[in-house]
Amino acid sequence: MKRFLLAGLCAVVLLASSCVKPKNAPTGDAHVRFVNATVGSPSQDVYINSVLVSSGKIPYGGQTPYMTYTAGINAIVFVDGITHISQAAEDYGSEIGDYATVYFYGNMQGGLTAGGIKDNMTAPATGKARVRFINLDYNLTNAMIMAVVGGSNLYTSLQFATASPYYEVDPGTKFQPSASGVTTAPVIQFNPQAGKIYTVWLSGASATEIYGNAILQY
């Protein structure tokens, strides 16, 4: 599994920021979007290098479209849309041409944080969809399991703040999350389509819940 948050894309982890670019590196465009994955949080504004970039406030479960910005190290800040107080900041590193998603989420220390992960935009095989999963359920201390409904497990131990590999699945596939101690875990059914790529981030308001949130990459 890929270490997701706060690890850095250089290590291909979820939510990272530590790819150091040489000062004379060529400049070019990259693409980034933002997701509010913090249960119970107010809507967020997002700033890149002190410039407001979110088109309207981002509620819990909400996301922005991909937007173009300059590759390299950029200071990203999530700001409470009501109080205008900074909630989480991340110096995120991207390469020219990258697509990435930066998540605002709670951590296991009771705080708030932000981190990004590169989105692989390689097309799936003909007739298939591609999907990966990210564990952002900071209330859950046990690793998650994910099964295809009517099929086998995709993985059996997805830790908090990590991302699974991408899996190629049939259109319409449904997924069943589970973990020790979890009593509420609805089937994740978002009707994946052939030729499309998805990320499903997982969260919950308590240690007994897992909910899936599917977002389209491409």
| Tens-place pLDDT, residues 158-202 | 999 999 999 999 999 999 999 999 999 999 999 999 999 999 999
The token duo for 214 is: 């599917």
Q: How far is CA 24 from CA 20, 21, 27, in A?
A: 12, 8, 9
Q: Where in the chain is the domain with CATH 2.60.40.2890?
A: 129-216
Question: For the domain with range 2-118, which CATH number is right: 1.10.10, 3.40.640, 2.60.40, 3.40.1130?
Answer: 2.60.40
Contact 117, 4 (CB under 8 A): yes
The confidence band for 26, taking pLDDT boundaries of 50, 70 and 90, is low
Amino acid at 68: T
The token duo for 131 is: 């999907």
> How far, in Å, CA of 118 to CA of 197, rounded?
13
pLDDT at res. 25: 55
Q: What average pLDDT does the segment 63-79 reach? A: 95
Instruction: Classify domain 129-216 at the CATH topology level.
Output: Immunoglobulin-like (2.60.40)
Three-state secondary-structure class, residue 111? coil
| Tens-place pLDDT, residues 111-135 | 999 999 999 999 999 999 999 999 9
Contact 104, 112 (CB under 8 A): yes
> How far, in Å, CA of 103 to CA of 62, rounded?
10
DSSP 164: P
Contact 69, 102 (CB under 8 A): no
> How far, in Å, CA of 90 to CA of 192, rounded?
31
Contact 137, 67 (CB under 8 A): no
pLDDT at res. 24: 45
Contact 185, 146 (CB under 8 A): no
> How far, in Å, CA of 103 to CA of 97, rounded?
19
Q: How many CB atoms lie under 10 A from the CB of residue 122?
A: 8
Q: What average pLDDT does the segment 9-31 reach? A: 52
pLDDT at res. 18: 38
Amino acid at 25: A
> How far, in Å, CA of 97 to CA of 47, rounded?
20
